[in-house]
Chain A
Amino acid sequence: EPEVTQTPSHQVTQMGQEVILRCVPISNHLYFYWYRQILGQKVEFLVSFYNNEISEKSEIFDDQFSVERPDGSNFTLKIRSTKLEDSAMYFCASRTGTGYEQYFGPGTRLTVT
């Protein structure tokens, strides 16, 4: 069964550094998402991406964040200058063009020190 994959599984970075989190969505899916979960808190929506542009974003997704689909398979989330409060589990998800169900990857745990 096709799955969403994410790399790395764990990323440690220093405050102020740039990080890129990578995701490979399911191959025939058209909509891509990033969510995050700060430890002890709920999963929060960051951004959705369709047809090579952002279709929705939350208040969390400020100018420090960007997303890109650099090729036909990868979907990336970049944080330009990480802050301590960016430490969280980041989940990528994807869905087809017709269904509402989103399929999630295993997550990348980002630790900012």
Chain B
Amino acid sequence: AQSVSQHNHHVILSEAASLELGCNYSYGGTVNLFWYVQYPGQHLQLLLKYFSGDPLVKGIKGFEAEFIKSKFSFNLRKPSVQWSDTAEYFCAVIYSGYALNFGKGTSLLVTP
């Protein structure tokens, strides 16, 4: 079955630390890849997306992600996190059609 795996369920970082959240998907064909963020009390917001082209994509708020086809991965990175980055982060993949398949999410807590 097509799936999306997020390896880290809970991450705690100090401000200014670097962040990398892992995401792997299970399908070898063409996929569309997304990272969504949900800040406390808010709705899901799109951070960034990859459809084709440059495998290094930049999103909002200094986030970026790299698509590595050979590893079926789409890891999210940020060089220096801030307290305001505390949120739940979801990797999502469209395998076919237009339905998003979500990972279980990673809860990030950034401490001052």
Contacts and interface: CB of A to CB of B under 8 A. Distances in A.
Contacts of A44: 102
| Interface of A, helix, strand, loop or mixed by DSSP | strand
Interface stretch (A14-22, A63-71, A79-87, A103-111): A103-111
A100 B51 contact: yes
B61 to A, nearest CB: 16
B43 A106 contact: yes
A102 B99 CA distance: 9
Contacts of A56: 97-99
For chain A, the bracket of interface size reads: 20 to 34
A81 B34 CA distance: 34
B44 A41 contact: no
A4 B46 CA distance: 13
Contacts of A73: none
A91 B94 contact: no
Nearest to B105: A42
Interface of A: 4, 31, 33, 35, 41-45, 48, 55-56, 58, 91, 93, 95, 100-107
Interface of B: 32, 34, 36, 42-46, 49, 51, 90, 92, 94, 97-105
